Amino acid sequence: MSPSLQISDTLLATAHEAARKSVAAFARRQHADGYWWGDLTGGDATLEADYLLLQLWLHSPSGSTWQPPDAAKAQRAVQSILAHQAADGGFSAYPQGPADVSASVKAYCALKLATHIPGLKLDPAALERCRERILALGGIQAANSYVKINLSLFGLYPREFAPSIPPELMLSGNMIYEMSSWTRAIVIPLSVLHAANPQRPVPAGFHLDELIKRGVPLEFKTGASFFSWKNWFFLCDDFVKFWDRYQIKAIRQRSINLARDWVLQRFEKSDGLAAIYPPMMYAIMMLDLLGYPADHPARAEAQRQFDRLLVDDGDRFFHQPCFSVVWDTAIAAFALGESGMADPQMMRRCGDWLLTKEVRTKGDWSKKRPNLEPSGWYFEFANEHYPDIDDTAMVLKALHHTGASDSTELLAVRERAVAWTLGMQSKDGGWAAFDVDNNWDFLADVPFADHNAMLDPTCPDITGRVLEGLILAGVHPQHPSIRRGVDYLIRTQEADGSWYGRWGVNYVYGTFLALRGLRAAGESDREAHVLRGGEWLRSIQNADGGWGESCESYRKGGFVPAPSTASQTAWGIMGLLASGDDSSLSVHHGIEHLVETQREDGTWFEQLATGTGFPNVYYLTYHLYRDSFPLMALSDWLKVKRAA
């Protein structure tokens, strides 16, 4: 027997054992109802900082003095924030990243606020180091628009120098549906706060004047030519500020009523407004401002749903940006199904649970697809208005393996989901997250659009997953929508052979999903675009055999290496396998890395953020990625080797 064959046999055995241990770990963690659910954490301290700002709001009724919140809980929030502070005093947008001025200003504001809470302890040196770092980064003037808007509600930043969000947007017909779903859910309740300009009271002596960098104007400037969308929108902002002073009250009130009704309608069948933290927080603030008492059913429900996002178990204190249960379940179920080792009863329970989460009512997406029958899946436990195309594709992949107790129902659900997904294809041939043709690029120049997620354009990562999901659900590879999706992926390949990943970090994620989509669609592994994708993955492999990519890739606009992570290593392996490479040293070293880094309990460790919320602004750590994707990669490789 040749040495190379001996090594291969050994690696097959150890990879099989690693997969078996992983399957056993997932079996132990399955909920009785059939789902899997891991923590979802942000890459920074902004949610805990926003939480303390919300406490400032709730304990600062208009016309009264500020009343301190519960000191014990505030102390826990402070400790959570300080855990993110870097040695240079700043706060980053992702683990081990450079200081980010917006994240640092939010953290500083929250920490300074905490010093006004009786009984709370805080080392003043932490504040001073943060202040110095903020000034070095350009001062409070360099923070993004949402930081300035939030602070302006308390008179902590001049209102005239913060972008305007008028509720009259509700009178613009379907214009709000040209924004991304998460942006409209943030903007609409926030517009009510803008209209009131509440100037809530703050503790005596509390201000942020020390964060103002001398010599830098507070005014936000376009820096753009006169004949540009950016300059046009800044002129519109000037007009809105004029309107705020001299508006027709009947029009303003009608706009506020429409915004309020829009928000309340989307409380139904949901874990809160859009089921994500920022809109849920602004909804509470909006209802409070409109005079809804704390015990009003709508406000009480909004507060209850928001409070559910808090994890406070004695050891940990943090807010989840949302619940990722459908997403976690679908990925885990597909990985388990690919392994061929999962208990059929466990898989069937999962399939039955997933069927209960199918969307059957029309949501915001139907504004552009009014005649499309509702279907698809959302991300959370409940978010009926916002089924997610990416989730839907992943659930279709999961159902391919899980089956369900009622095979007739399964067939009907799958047919509806396939039809809905095909109907949600955009004109360019790709798929986005929540909407169709959400690509008015000029809206990215709106002054409050610097959260870098004003739009929901098509992207290669979702498109690749959709192609695979549709084909596993029975759509023929020669279907016109599949061919348009393939053409989209070929057109969007980067010059270096990679693909951009919008929802995962970054080019490794986009490349692995694009290659899997192309493989599912029947593309030959001899095609130039497939070969180039595989070659790129080999070229960026780390010396330890794994793959790692920094969130900084988004800012640079190209791959930035990072230490190997379990999830990104799995993506690299699966991308190579999809490109037709199952026997190179790159693949073998990748498999060895996963086997060697697996913990005894069948799980993997991962510290860095590999998920993306808003590129350059907010990142995510999916705590099941580190386990689901390695199992998927090991299973993919073992299937190929067994078939050889």
Distance (Å, rounded) from C-alpha 587 to C-alpha 607?
23
502 contacts: CB under 8 Å, gap ≥ 6: 433, 459, 460, 461, 462, 510, 612, 615
Residue 433 lies in a domain: no
Measured CA to CA, the distance from residue 494 to residue 511 in angstroms comes to 10
Q: Is residue 360 included in any domain, yes or no?
A: no
Q: Among the three residues 294, 319, 344, which one is the final residue of a domain in this structure? A: 319
Residue 528 counted as domain residue: yes
Average pLDDT, stretch 145-159?
Answer: 92
Domain boundary among 284, 303, 319: 319
pLDDT value of residue 232: 62
What band does 160 get if pLDDT is binned at 50, 70 and 90? confident
Cα separation, 27 vs 336, in Å, equals 9
Residue 1's pLDDT band (cuts 50, 70, 90): very low
Residue in the block written with tokens 């095979």: 407
Instruction: Name the nearest CA neighbour of 642 among 21, 22, 16.
Output: 16
- Domain span at 508: 459-644
In a domain, 134, yes or no: yes
Residue 349 counted as domain residue: no
| Token digits of residue 629 | 């994707």
Dihedral angle, C-alpha 107, 109, 112, 113, nearest 10 °: -120
What CATH number is attached to the domain comprising 578? 1.50.10.20
Instruction: Answer yes or no: is 564 within a domain.
Output: yes
Contacts of 612 by beta carbon, 8 Å cutoff, 6+ apart? 501, 502, 503, 504, 505, 506, 551, 554, 619, 620
The DSSP string of 407-443 is: HHHHHHHHHHHHHHHHHT--TTS---SS-SSB--GGG
Confidence label for 228 from pLDDT (cuts 50, 70 and 90): low
**Pairing verdict, β 611-614 and 618-622:** antiparallel
Indicate the residue among 287, 319, 351 that finishes a domain.
319
What is the structure's pLDDT at 234? Answer: 66
DSSP alpha helix (H) spans, 227-319? 229-246, 249-265, 277-289, 297-308
pLDDT at 198: 85
Share of the chain above pLDDT 90, in %: 81
Q: Which residue has the tokens 């919320």?
A: 613
For the chain, how many structural domains are there in total? 2
The predicted pLDDT at position 222 comes to: 55
Q: Taking a C-beta distance cutoff of 8 angstroms, is the pair 180, 455 a contact? A: yes
What's residue 445's pLDDT?
Answer: 72
Q: Is the pLDDT of residue 215 over 60?
A: yes
Tokens of 354: 């997933």
236-250, 378-392, 433-447: range with lowest mean pLDDT: 236-250
Is pLDDT above 60 for 595? yes
**Mean per-residue pLDDT for 278-292?**
96
How many Å apart are CA 176 and CA 275, to the nearest integer?
18
Provide the mean pLDDT of the chain: 93
> pLDDT band for position 2 (50/70/90)?
very low
**Least confident interval from 224-238, 241-255, 312-326:** 224-238
Structure tokens at 614: 């808003």
- Which residue among 352, 364, 390, 428 is the active-site one? 390
- Cα angle 330, 549, 496 (rounded to 5 degrees) comes to 100
Tell the residue number behind the tokens 């949302």, with chain if given: 322
Residue 364 bears catalytic tag? no
Instruction: Please check whether residue 441 lies inside any domain of the structure.
Output: no
Q: pLDDT per residue over 66-125, tens digit each? A: 777 888 889 999 999 999 999 999 999 999 999 999 999 999 999 999 998 888 888 899
What is the number of residues in the chain? 644
Q: Is residue 336 a part of any domain in this protein?
A: no
Please list the alpha-helical segments (H only) found in 290-428. 297-308, 325-339, 344-355, 389-402, 407-423
- pTM for the predicted model, two decimal places: 0.95
CA distance linking residue 612 with residue 97, whole number of Å: 14
